[in-house]
Amino acid sequence: MTVVVRESKETQIRLSVTAGAGIARVRTGEPFLDHMLVTLARYAGVDLDVQATGDLRHHLIEDVAIVFGQAIAAFAPAGCARYGERTISMDDALVQVVLDIGGRPYYRGPLPSPLYDHFMRSFADNAKATLHVRVLRGRDKHHVVEAAFKALGLALRDALIASGAVFSTKGSVQVQVSET
């Protein structure tokens, strides 16, 4: 289990992620965010427990994404498959997510909702992941955003598989930082 706690003047968040069956307990006070996190956990095949409060909707959504990204970065096995790609349809929406959790943060979107586009960017930055989200079609913003979360979940499911190998021509990278 990986647990991340973040407290600031704006938000208070406690999030845990565990290998599991995709069971989520989410209480943020923001119903659509709760729905997206439950969906994400289900499709990623991880158990997720999130308790969060915040002063503004924007701060809450952004900071939950930061904490979730930090948790995934810590949770990912060193020898995980690293890559995932899924395309999901949901009614009028068709969304592709391509993911690399190999330590190089980059995000390319956008989603039609600025708040949830920012969620994806904040997640990618803090998970140290390359994340491309392509909206291939869709008119209903709810459907597009939900398809993106489902696709991200399935891509994470694939990327987090413990393979026992390091998928890099560099091999395992060791970094030491010391103060003098």
| 165 belongs to a structural domain | no
Q: Would you state the pLDDT for residue 178?
A: 67
| 175 belongs to a structural domain | no
| 54 belongs to a structural domain | yes
Q: Would you state the pLDDT for residue 144?
A: 98
DSSP label at residue 80: B
pTM of the model: 0.91
| 177 belongs to a structural domain | no
Task: For residue 91, give its domain range.
Answer: 2-159
Overall number of domains in the chain: 1
Q: Domain with 37 in it: what CATH number? A: 3.30.230.40
Q: Would you state the pLDDT for residue 174?
A: 55
| 9 belongs to a structural domain | yes
CB 73 within 8 A of CB 100: no
Q: For residue 58, what are the CA distances in angstroms to 1, 115, 119?
A: 28, 7, 9
Q: Would you state the pLDDT for residue 162?
A: 87
| 172 belongs to a structural domain | no
| 170 belongs to a structural domain | no
| 176 belongs to a structural domain | no
Q: Would you state the pLDDT for residue 163?
A: 74
Sign for the pseudo-dihedral over CA of 25, 31, 35, 41: negative
Question: Which residues, in sequence order, are CB contacts of 57 under 8 Å at separation 6+?
Answer: 30, 115
- Across the chain, which has 180 residues, the per-10-residue mean pLDDT values are 97 97 98 98 98 98 98 94 97 98 97 98 98 98 98 98 64 62
